Amino acid sequence: MLYKIMSRETLVPNNHLFKVEAPAVARKARAGQFVVIMIDEKGERIPLTIADWDREEGSITIVFMEVGVTTRKLAQLKAGDSIANFIGPLGEPSHIEKFGTVVCVGGGVGVAPIFPIARALKEAGNKIISIIGARSKDLLFWEDRVREVSDSLTVTTDDGSYGRKALVTEPLKELLEGAEKIDRVVAIGPAIMMKFCAKTTEPFAVPTIVSLNPIMVDGTGMCGCCRVEVGGETKFTCVDGPDFDGHLVDWDLLFARQRIYIDEEKHAMECACGEVASHG
Amino acid sequence: MAKVDLNRVSMPKQEPEVRAGNFNEVALGYNAEQALYEANRCIQCPKKLCVGGCPVDVDIPDFINAIREGDMPEAVRILKGKNSLPGICGRVCPQETQCEEVCSLGKKGAPIAIGRLERYVADWELAQGEMEKPQIAKATGKRVAVIGSGPAGLTAAADLAKMGHQVTLFEALHVAGGVLMYGIPEFRLPKRVVQTEVDYVKSMGVDLRLDFVVGKTMTIDEILKDGYDAVFMGTGAGLPMFLNIPGENFNGIYSANEFLTRTNLMKAYLFPEYDTPIKRGRRVMVIGGGNVAMDSARCALRLGADEVYIVYRRSEVELPARREEVENAQEEGIIFKFLTNPKRFIGNDQGWVVGAECYEMELGEPDESGRRRPITKEGSEFMLDVDTVVIALGTTPNPLVPTTTKGLDVTKRGTVVADEKEGKTTKPGVWAGGDVVTGAATVISAMGAGKRAAASIDEYLGQQGG
């Protein structure tokens, strides 16, 4: 079966949005879940978080950053092209209920998956305070969409080219120190950002949920490639997560396991670039 | 009558030093002359004990007789009358504990090489390029969902389709075949053979839906509501077991499922032509003594390892792997460390495994499995320097389907409760069979369960009326 790319856009350099025709996935998708995709029969299976869905249209929206061979190949595809395999929705949906006031933090490409979670939490009656950050203005996207589902929004950039010059943890800390009671924090972004968000909230004992992004193969609990340690216990991110208690995650283990194939990736990129050069 | 040769025709194989460096099939298969000679050893005894030894009741003496008479199309017809996957079974069934174990010739000499002849027949048909279409009964108008396209699911789907039911076969992965694709390596079961037999099942009108994770994309309850009259669960035992010892999550430590999935299903041995990478360890330790451990060790060797150890806590006689696979591994230079059990893994500052501290073991009284229980020798710890570890301790059923299905009872071991004869579960309209019921077992026992469940489902659907 082929999954058609209904539309695509480059949100910011290296970050792309694809709307993919996948009615069976769209029917069941919920905030916090992911899909596993494979571009063609020689491709790798990679997980991508679901950024949005349209059940009537039968579409799933994914947003991804070009980081390796597979995401680079994916970025080459055009509207009307197809992806060979598109599997989901996988993982447990985010826990949605009325907690009170929830701070939603999205960093970099993590702004995309934080959006449906913020929206679901908002619909469940929570007050949503969002913080989104990027390295600089030209890498920031979906400010409008996140604003729409938030009671308030703070935008940060590392270089100060837009919004506040800060890391997302700074406004987060101020909120925790402020007068308003914060009942929950959800943080999605690069692993290092999630780690520091969790470290920021820990002294305040505010429950902090992070969405982990280790390497996966099948995404259904079969291989254990995505194992992480949470509270001293081994968990499979694909079936036990991807959402976990950020205060209990062994971050160093996650960082190490994310780097397992760094040499192979480099080698594959060189080969792929060589191919482009020889054909171009 | 000429005297029967008590020795079987040996299987031509790739030489150990050659095959250790490639992923091509080890056993090359009989040629026509060898097959005829072996078929002629069959005394066509009236007892037909072999048929009783086969979990799917293949009419063994009849197909052997067809080979003798040179009527290969008939041999195919007889074989496929009972078994839709002969190319697979001829290669991976443990015939030595089934049909061949009870062969009358076995009392005096070597039993007939039934598996090798079965493979010969299947390969003959494959070489003809065209498969004869099976007889399909008149359409019943009943719809059956088969979940999982491994040996149990493929068999159930094929039998149900032949009975005239409309079958949808749901598969979570991107190709059909289950463990036949992700688990068993190319050098033991070429993927071309699996896909040919999958195509044969599809040719019966079975609708294969890939990328469909039952329990996530749709639950069994939703499938039943969607108009299916019955469901067969053949979801296997896909969840890997770990040792739960310190250091198990260091980089370079794989479950056998991951190691084999990357290697076989994703073809990591062809990286970077294929995009999925795998670590090519120099010193590899495989923990476990079953067929999966043998497969993992032999894959590691073919990926270029200098030394591959199989670490097993019991002794050689207790190895659960097929004898043939143990011999193949030994010939290829796999080093067996019996009566050894890891205590913990040691990692470097980058989080990579660099070694395993192991205990020496000794054997005590037999345990509930009937095998002598391994006991740790205190103070016997020693270090084994390794850069890759594969944990092949076995698997349990994936809870994804059971936990999302109302009214489906599971045991403490996570297996689905189903009656052994027919595969009926505690949920009306739902059958189960194969590893999901028994825990990890063999391809052929899963096929037997798929076959029995198909017959039971057919009977149930007949009672439902039109």
Is B400 in contact with A267 (Cβ distance < 8 A)? no
Say yes or no: B241 contacts chain A, CB-CB below 8 A: no
Rounded Cα gap, residues B297 and B386, in angstroms: 13
Instruction: Say what angle helices B151-162 and B443-464 make with each other, to 10 degrees.
Output: 40
- What pLDDT score does B465 carry? 66
- What pLDDT score does A274 carry? 58
- What pLDDT score does B3 carry? 77
Confidence of residue A277 (pLDDT cuts 50, 70, 90): very low
Q: Partners of B169 in the beta sheet?
A: B146, B208
Residue with tokens 């071309």: B192
Instruction: Say what angle helices B60-68 and B114-128 make with each other, to 10 degrees.
Output: 60
- What pLDDT score does A226 carry? 97
User: What does pLDDT average to in each consecutive run of 10 residues of chain B (466 residues)?
Assistant: 82 95 96 96 94 93 97 96 92 91 93 97 92 90 97 96 97 96 96 94 96 96 96 95 96 97 96 95 97 97 97 94 94 97 97 97 89 93 97 93 93 93 96 94 91 96 79
Does this model's pTM top 0.90? My answer is yes
| Both tokens assigned to B365 | 């009284």
Residue A275 has pLDDT above 60, yes or no: no
The total number of residues written for chain A in this structure: 280
Q: How many interchain CB pairs under 8 A, A with B?
A: 122
Q: Pairing between strand A15-21 and A59-65? A: antiparallel
The total number of residues written for chain B in this structure: 466
Nearest to B206 by CA among B262, B266, B258, B134: B134
Tell me the nearest-neighbour CA distance from A1 into chain B, angstroms: 7
Give per-residue pLDDT as tens, A219-254.
Answer: 999 999 999 999 999 999 999 999 999 999 999 999
Residues of A within 8 A of B183 (CB-CB) are none
| Both tokens assigned to B93 | 């069934």
Nearest to A220 among B172, B254, B271 (CB): B172
Rounded Cα gap, residues A186 and A201, in angstroms: 11
Cis peptide before A242 (omega within 30 of 0): yes
ipTM of the complex: 0.94
Is B174 in contact with A239 (Cβ distance < 8 A)? no
Is B296 in contact with B332 (CB distance < 8 Å)? no
Residue of A nearest to B209 (CA): A1
Residue of A nearest to B237 (CA): A222
Residues of A within 8 A of B351 (CB-CB) are 252-253, 256-257
| Both tokens assigned to A125 | 């009656």
